[in-house]
Amino acid sequence: MIIRVVALLVLVGAVSLEAQAEDSVRAAETLRREALLAADTVALSRMLAPDFVEISRFGTVRTRADNIRDIAAGVLHLTTIKYDSLNVRVYGDVAVLTGIADNTGTMRGFPFSGRIRYTRVFVRRDGRWQAVLMQQTPMQ
């Protein structure tokens, strides 16, 4: 009986830690949204791992440096970002976030808007989540 109680307590604790990790990844995604809308490249630099890679909705590969440079220069300017259907799965120090983003803004002065289904992979480093990969697929 005591073994069952201890096992149950361990299981409840593990579920609680996993829920906390999922919540912290969602919070990181919300902070990313705020940083993008404010063009806060200092915050974005902390959120993106040095080896971050993005596969854009057009199939192009963009690095962390590409993203930071384009936001700092105003080449990419986001005016709205709305998230839907966010799902987080945590595997130790790796988390996979999937969802839908409805974005509007300008890229190289040309307006854009639309929904993408995306995946972002995070790695927990020094106690915080950093994005290492993002892949976008346009939605019709």
CATH number, residue 89: 3.10.450.50
Which range of residues forms the domain containing residue 107? 2-138
Between 35 and 17, the more confident residue is 35
78: CB partners within 8 A, 6+ apart: 36, 37, 103, 104, 105
What are the residues facing 46 on neighbouring strands? none
Token pair for 25: 């990844």
Contact 104, 79 (CB under 8 A): yes
Between 58 and 118, the more confident residue is 118
Q: Considering its fold, how many domains does the chain have in total? A: 1
Whether residue 14 is predicted with pLDDT greater than 60 in this model: the reply is no
Q: What is the pLDDT of residue 18?
A: 81
DSSP 3-state of 56:
coil
Whether residue 7 is predicted with pLDDT greater than 80 in this model: the reply is no
Whether residue 80 is predicted with pLDDT greater than 80 in this model: the reply is yes
Whether residue 42 is predicted with pLDDT greater than 90 in this model: the reply is yes
Whether residue 49 is predicted with pLDDT greater than 90 in this model: the reply is yes
Whether residue 16 is predicted with pLDDT greater than 80 in this model: the reply is no
**Among residues of the chain, what percentage have pLDDT more than 90?**
84
Phi and psi at 59, nearest 5°, equal 85, 5
Q: Whole-angstrom distance between the N-terminal and C-terminal Cα of the chain?
A: 56
